Amino acid sequence: MKRILSLIAVVCACVSLYANGKDRGIEVSVLTCAPGQEVYSLYGHTAIRVKDNATGEDRVFNYGVFDFNTEYFIWKFVLGKTDYICASMPWAYFLREYERSGRSVVVQLLDLTESEACKVKEYLFKNVEPENRVYRYNYLTNNCTTKVLDCVEACVEGTIVYSWSPEMHTYRSILHRYTSSHPWAQDGNDLLLGADVDTILSHRATCFIPDLYMKALSDAVVRNDFQDTRKLVLSTSVFPASANILSSPEDSIPCSPEILCWGIFIIGVIIMALEYGLKKMFWPLDILIMLAHGLAGCLIVFMFFFSEHPAVGSNWLIGVFNPLPLVALPFVVKAAWNDRVTFWHHLMAVWIALFLLFIPWMPQRMPVLAVPVLATLLARQVSYILHYGLRISPKAAKKRKNISKKKK
């Protein structure tokens, strides 16, 4: 009996020493920050905290640092060649910055062994060295969240097993969740992102969003070679506790792109009716329409062929938004000046109608504003065909009458 009691005492002492060792050792926490006001912060942010109780050092490693003042920053961003930096800062400074902006910070303390915690610390300090700290940012596959995910998985001794939701996601459906209150940002994304963001993701790939990675961590376990498991997250706390993690600010622009585009379509139909009734084409209006159409096409074509941004090279909208309207514009203006229709109007009418017809079967989920925009363009082509193709305008009739008189 004494031996048993002695053995229990030894075990309890070992457990106590282990716990105290963890208190005195290195603590690693994953930080999930709530969405902010700026477009680039709508999805939140992830960082990782390393607290060394032995030395008192408490630092945050942040993979989301960039500098707007970098030479040709905007141009590099358009090309998808934006470089981000892994930076280290005191925990108190990091927390204060987010508290000032009214954004909550969720701290998930990881249950790591001393060896694993040391690996994380070594991994992160190596990443902030000048020759290693810069990396090519990709907002879907290589961002602040995926960098933390890679770090944790690389340093844990065993296999991390996540408890995934059975719900299936695409990149687009996830992005829509966080831009629902920002229709201009959402539709801007949808105009440029192609079919690649509409494929079903693996569960791990969904962890490019801070909140989704936080949820994946909360139920994750570590399984070693002996099939023993332990919860990866030891505890969770929120700073400040009153903040709403999933909240995001409302868009400051009162009119959504969809309402604006449907309004333009209605105006286009009214103009079409007036042209039909007055037997007169307001063709100067088409100069503005074709310029806008062609310039939008230039942006999509440029992103399609030259940008390194993910998924822009699979954009089916390139079929109807390209620079061809700018090429056709002088011929359309000349034809309108001479009261006649061109082959361009017939071609565009058929092509846009077919594109609209086959949208439900396309592998790319089209932006909701694509329908009113394309319907407006189709209405303009139909108006030209009705005016010049199926009936003779007064000006054209007068010209034909004069020609017939000369022949006589």
Asked if pLDDT for residue 20 goes beyond 50, the answer is no
Query: In angstroms, how far apart are the furthest CA atoms of the chain?
Result: 133
Domains of the chain: 25-165+203-239 (3.90.1720), 257-407 (no CATH)
Report the pLDDT value the prediction gives residue 153, as an integer from 0 to 100: 95
Please list, in sequence order, all residues whose beta carbon lies within 8 angstroms of the beta carbon of residue 224, skipping any fewer than 6 positions away.
157, 158, 159
- Per-residue pLDDT at 69: 73
Residues 6+ apart with CB under 8 A from 245: 32, 34, 44, 104, 106, 211, 238
For the stretch 87-118, pLDDT in tens is 999 999 999 989 888 899 999 999 999 999 99
pLDDT 10s digits, 372-396:
999 999 999 998 888 876 554 555 5
- What is the residue whose two structure tokens read 């602040």? 144
The amino acid that residue 26 corresponds to is I
The angle formed by the CA atoms of residues 77, 83 and 88, to the nearest 5 degrees, is 135
pLDDT at 126 over 80: yes
**Which pLDDT score, from 0 to 100, does residue 227 have?**
77
Span 246-272, average pLDDT: 78
| Residue 38, pLDDT score | 81
User: What local confidence, expressed as pLDDT, does residue 2 receive?
Assistant: 45
> What Cα–Cα distance (Å) separates residue 162 from each residue in 94, 203, 216, 230, 232?
28, 9, 6, 12, 10
Say how far apart CA 173 and CA 132 lie, in whole Å.
33
Percent of the chain with pLDDT over 90: 58
pLDDT in tens, 162-220: 988 778 899 999 999 999 888 988 999 999 999 999 999 999 999 999 999 999 999 99
- Judged against a pLDDT cut of 70, whether residue 19 lies above it is answered with no
**C-alpha–C-alpha distance, residues 243 and 167, integer Å:** 27
pLDDT of residue 245: 45
Residue 374's alpha-carbon distances to 187, 199, 221, 302, in angstroms, are 15, 25, 50, 20
* 41 CB-side CA count, 13 A: 19
Cα(137)–Cα(234) distance, rounded to whole angstroms?
Answer: 31
Instruction: Flag whether pLDDT at 244 surpasses 60.
Output: no
The string of pLDDT tens digits covering residues 21-62 is 345 489 999 999 998 878 878 999 999 999 999 999 999 999
What is the structure's pLDDT at 221? 94
Treating both helix axes as pointing N-terminal to C-terminal, what angle do 343-358 and 370-384 enclose, rounded to 10 degrees?
150
pLDDT for the residue 8:
46
- pLDDT bucket at 403, cuts 50 / 70 / 90: low
Q: Among 59-68, 117-126, 393-402, where is mean pLDDT lowest?
A: 393-402
* Position with higher pLDDT, 55 vs 338: 55
Is the predicted pLDDT of residue 72 greater than 80, yes or no?
Answer: no
Cis ω before 240 (30° cut-off from 0): yes
Q: Angle 57-61-63 (CA atoms, 0-180°, nearest 5)?
A: 170
Q: State pLDDT tens for residues 355-376.
A: 999 999 999 999 989 999 999 9
Answer yes or no: is pLDDT of 130 > 80. yes
**pLDDT confidence tier of residue 408, bands split at 50, 70 and 90:** low
Question: DSSP assignment, residue 90?
Answer: E
The average pLDDT across 341-354 equals: 92
3-class DSSP assignment, residue 107: strand
Average pLDDT, integer, range 290-307? 94
Contact 354, 383 (CB under 8 A): no
